[in-house]
Structure 1
């Protein structure tokens, strides 16, 4: 490369000078191409990661909504269960009262 530049100066040949400059810039062109390729790959990776993040955020929101809905359903069902248990206890108490009354009536009928 240096030899070409010297020859170009010595003979005042602009074609050789141009060739020397191109030879000097060629390694940088290759490096630039590699860097451009790496940059394109990184941008593609960034886009994919951004899409994945967006998908994950959507799924998290959906899951949180489902959890809230299910927790509310659970609370409602627990309330119903408690109401039914109270009804059962009340009915059992009434049954016992009625049994006592029936027994008392049977005794009074026998007398």
Structure 2
């Protein structure tokens, strides 16, 4: 079991902003998972990886693939209080789900 969080590299987010967006995505996708997946992932150490997307279109494509595959996922849009305009899509989390299922959606992406 794992979770992949994909963040946009083209926005130039500061380290703190990036960390916050990744955290938002991780928690929201976790809350979308069913209880069995939540318990298994937590029991396995909550494995997660952070990957990079090069554009908003890439982020939307990953989100759509996760939806089609029936995986828990969450697309994050910034509130616009600091570095970004309101509504800017910043990250998407996929999982927790089996490594194989998450890799089917995110396996071609590079580490952030």
Q: Could you state the TM-score of these two structures normalised by the residue count of structure 1?
A: 0.20
- Structure with bigger gyration radius: 1
Instruction: Give the number of the structure whose residues are more often strand, by fraction.
Output: 2
Which structure has more relative contact order (CA 8 Å, sep 6+)? It is: 2
Structure 1 or 2: larger helix share? Answer: 1
What TM-score do you get using the length of structure 2 for normalisation?
A: 0.20
